[in-house]
Amino acid sequence: MVKRFIKDVKKYYRYIFVSAKAELKAEVANSYLNWLWWILEPFCMMLIYTFIFGYVFNAREDYFPAFIFLGLAMWNFFSHTLTNSVKIVKNNKAVVSKVYIPKYVLILKKMCVNGFKMALSMLIVAGLMIVYRVPLSWNILYVIPLMLIQILFVFGFCTFFLHFGVFVEDLSNVVNIGLRLGLYLTGIMYSIESRVKGMAGYLLARLNPMAFFISSMRNAVLYGGTPSWKWMLAWTLFSLILIYIGVRLIYKNENSYVKVI
Amino acid sequence: MRDIAIEVNDLSIHYRGLQSYSIKQHLLRFRPNKTEVFEAVKHISFQVEKGQIIGLVGKNGSGKSTLLNAIAGIFAPDTGSIDLRGNTVSLLSIGVGFQRELSGRENIRLSGMLLGFSEEEIKAKTPEIIKFAGLGQFIDMPVRTYSSGMHSKLAFSITAILETDIILVDEVLSVGDVKFKKKSYQKMKELISDDERTVVIVSHTPSTLLELCDRIIWLHDGEIKMEGPAEEVMDAYLEYME
């Protein structure tokens, strides 16, 4: 199975990039402010959150706008890819009912689209860091492994939702509720470690992979901290197992999807 | 005897227990819902030689399209196997899968890639496809703005110009306006006359099948009722349908 997966990824990676690019282009072509929206939307969200949580709820973190923006960028990558995955086979009915394509290729394509938007947001974070004169340290290099682990995790996680999304019609309602809960539990607008005291905070920031990625990333980028190697390794392994099971599930069932949609 | 291009062995496809359900329904209903098994194709075996042209006939719902989808690799067989001996295959049918937001040109590129062609090959053939489809400036507009005729014209052109080893045709010979119909029929004949190309055609038009096919398979309720030379099977089929 691993061999087949590698072979398929090799065969389809050009398709993934080309179709992701085409989708981004189409998105641009259809709106007035076109690509500005990719920056404007998260930027406005950041303003809202900064205002509400910074001033109304008094959540004080250093470099608060950058803190929020970084978390928001990573969370959006996760949540958008997840919401897309649930309906992805149905939304690509035109394609999947005409030609064979490994269905997880559709997730990878969405990840490229959402990843590109995340990268744009990251540029803004960099801009904010310059404005706030955040001192840089070599720990910023941890961005690379953290991003990679996050990508593995999101892919593995979404394969399951692709599969069950085909058979369970109202899965998207459940996912929306779950994502809202996740948004608050993950500490996008506050720091879990400084707000939730004791063991609960410690576990909340580590057992929730997105919370772990986001808080490690903030630590490395904004505050010059080192993420925990132990947990990074654990989440890498966990993600690889998720991918293995998820991709196998898809391979086993994908040709029945078309009969349902 | 020539090489075999398609080998179908004891193929069955059913639609069973695969209906989607919702969590709400599941919570509100206490006994498990009974699932009905519908066998669309029942234990079919046949072989197609390379370069042959096969027609599939049968009344609506007899499993013709299901069979085509299975050969194209879109449906999984529930029992049995389909062996294409490594040939590339494409399914030509009304309203081929395009991504509606993308332009025709981009859809050509993506469809070609999904059919297993390299980007250079696609690039080289794109002008020919565009010319054959005859869409003019619409080729750079999003596909969602196309009329259904333009849609099918583009779909036909892509599969017809990017020549795969096996072509599966699902009632496509009546696409577009009179002019395009003539052109596509001509192209179809040209493609089919290639000795290397294997073609399976589903159609309800006896004259088309008689003219194009070497052999006809008559499907009835998911089973092969008759198989043989085109005229023989067609006569028996038409008599039955009367």
Where do the domains of chain B lie?
A: 1-87+166-175+194-242, 92-164
| Contact residues on chain A for B103, CB-CB shorter than 8 A | 26
Say what the pTM is: 0.85
Mean pLDDT of the residues in chain B: 80
Q: Mind telling me how many Å the CA of A14 is from chain B's nearest CA?
A: 8
Average pLDDT, stretch B92-119? Answer: 79
Residues written for chain A: 261
Contact in structure between A65 and A45 (CB atoms under 8 Å): no
- Give me the pLDDT at residue B26, please: 64
**Would the pLDDT of A260 be above 80?**
no
B1 has a pLDDT exceeding 80? no
The size of chain B, in residues, is: 242
Query: Which residues make Cβ contacts (< 8 Å) with residue A172, sequence separation at least 6?
Result: A83, A86, A87, A165
What pLDDT digit, counting tens, does each position of A156-168 carry?
A: 999 999 999 988 8
**pLDDT tens digits along A43-52:** 888 888 888 8
Residues on chain B touching A23 (C-beta within 8 angstroms): 99, 101-102
Check whether B117 has a pLDDT greater than 60. Answer: yes
ipTM of the complex: 0.76
A14 touching B, CB under 8 A? yes
Percent of residues in chain A assigned helix, strand, coil, to nearest 5: 80, 0, 20
Single out the residue of B216, B144, B149, B142 nearest to residue B184, CA to CA. B149
Residue A64 neighbours by CB under 8 Å, 6+ apart: A50, A54
CA distance linking residue A91 with residue A248, whole number of Å? 22
Kindly list the residues from chain B whose CB atom is less than 8 angstroms away from the CB atom of residue A15.
110, 113-114
- Measured between CA atoms, the residue of chain A closest to residue B116 is A11
Choose among B20, B69, B103: nearest Cβ to A168.
B20
pLDDT of residue B174: 61
Q: CA-CA distance, B218 to B221, in Å (whole number)?
A: 10
Output the six-digit token pair for B179.
Answer: 């002019």
Give the A:B interface size as CB pairs under 8 Å: 100
Give the closest of A26, A100, A174 to B23, CB-based.
A174
For residue A85, the model assigns a pLDDT of: 94
Residues from chain A contacting residue B106 (CB–CB below 8 Å): 22, 25
Is residue B27 scored above 70 in pLDDT?
no
Residue of A nearest to B118 (CA): A14
Q: Do β-strands B4-15 and B79-83 pair in parallel, antiparallel, or remain unpaired?
A: antiparallel
Residues 67-96 of A with CB under 8 A from B: 92-96
Judge whether B98 is closer than 8 Å to chain A, CB to CB.
Answer: yes
Contact with chain A for residue B75, Cβ under 8 A: yes
**Per-residue confidence (pLDDT) for residue A108, from 0 to 100:** 95
Q: How many domains does chain A have?
A: 1
Rounded to whole angstroms, how far apart are CA atoms A148 and A152?
Answer: 6
The more confidently predicted of residues B29 and A259 is A259
In this predicted structure, the answer to whether residue A232 has a pLDDT above a threshold of 90 is yes
Which residues of chain A have a CB within 8 Å of the CB of B22?
A: 168-170
Which of A246, A42, A74 lies closest to A150 in space, CA to CA? A74
CA distance A12 to chain B (A): 8
Q: Please, which residues 100-119 of chain A have a Cβ atom closer than 8 Å to chain B?
A: 100-101
Confidence of residue A105 (pLDDT cuts 50, 70, 90): very high
Residues of the domain holding A236: 2-260
Please report the pLDDT score of residue A112 as a whole number: 95
User: What share of chain B has pLDDT > 90, as a percent?
Assistant: 0
The CATH number assigned to the domain with range B92-164 reads 1.10.8
Distance CA B150, CA B134 (A): 9
Mean pLDDT of chain A: 88
Beta strands in B171-214 (DSSP E): 198-202
Question: What is the residue-wise DSSP string for A81-124?
Answer: HHHHHHTHHHHTHHHHTTS---THHHHHHHHHHHHHHHHHHHHH
What does the pLDDT read at residue A261?
A: 66
Q: With bands split at pLDDT 50, 70 and 90, how would you rate the model's confidence at A180?
A: very high
Give pLDDT tens digits for B170-225.
775 566 678 877 887 787 778 777 778 888 888 888 887 888 888 888 888 888 88
Decide if A150 contacts A118 (C-beta within 8 A). Answer: no
Cβ atoms of residues B122 and B143 within 8 Å: no
B220 compared with B34, residue with greater pLDDT = B220
Do residue A18 and residue B23 have CB atoms under 8 angstroms apart? no
Q: Is the dihedral of CA B165, B98, B190, B213 positive or negative?
A: positive
Q: B21 with B167: CB under 8 angstroms?
A: no
Average of pLDDT values for A181-207?
82
A29–chain B Cβ distance below 8 A for any pair: yes
Confirm or reject contact between B154 and chain A (CB < 8 A): no
Residues of A in contact with B142 (CB under 8 A): 26, 29-30
What pLDDT was estimated at residue A217? 92
* Bigger pLDDT: B20 vs B33: B20
pLDDT tens for A52-66 read 887 887 777 788 888
Contacts of B114 (CB under 8 A, 6+ apart): A15, A95, A99, A101
A97/B contact by beta carbon, under 8 A: yes
Cβ <8 Å between B119 and A23: no
Contact across the interface for B91 and A98, Cβ inside 8 Å? yes
Q: A6 to each of A3, A11, B116, how far by Cα in Å?
A: 5, 9, 16
The CATH homologous superfamily of the domain defined by B1-87+166-175+194-242: P-loop containing nucleotide triphosphate hydrolases (3.40.50.300)
Q: Which residues of A touch B102 (CB under 8 A)?
A: 22-23, 25-26
- pLDDT mean over B19-31: 60
Closest alpha carbon to A210 in A44, A109, A42, A77: A77
Q: Is the CB of residue A171 less than 8 Å away from at least one CB of chain B?
A: yes
Choose the most confident range, by mean pLDDT, from A155-169, A183-197, B5-19, B91-105.
A155-169
Which positions in chain A touch B99 (Cβ < 8 Å)? 19, 22-23, 26, 92, 94-95
DSSP A71-84: HHHHHHHHHHHHHH
C-beta atoms of B115 and A260 within 8 A: no
- What does the alpha-carbon distance between residue A103 and residue A96 come to, in Å, rounded to a whole number? 8
Residue A146 has pLDDT above 80, yes or no: yes
Residue A174 with chain B: CB contacts under 8 Å: 23
Per DSSP, the three-state class of A198 is: helix
Residue B36 pLDDT > 70: no
Going through A143-188 in order, the beta strands assigned E by DSSP cover: none
| Predicted local confidence at residue A174, as pLDDT | 92
Does B114 contact A at CB distance below 8 Å? yes
Give me the residue from A22, A100, A260 closest to B74, CB to CB.
Answer: A100
Q: What per-residue confidence (pLDDT) applies to A228? A: 87
- Give dist(CA B137, CA B132) in Å, integer: 13
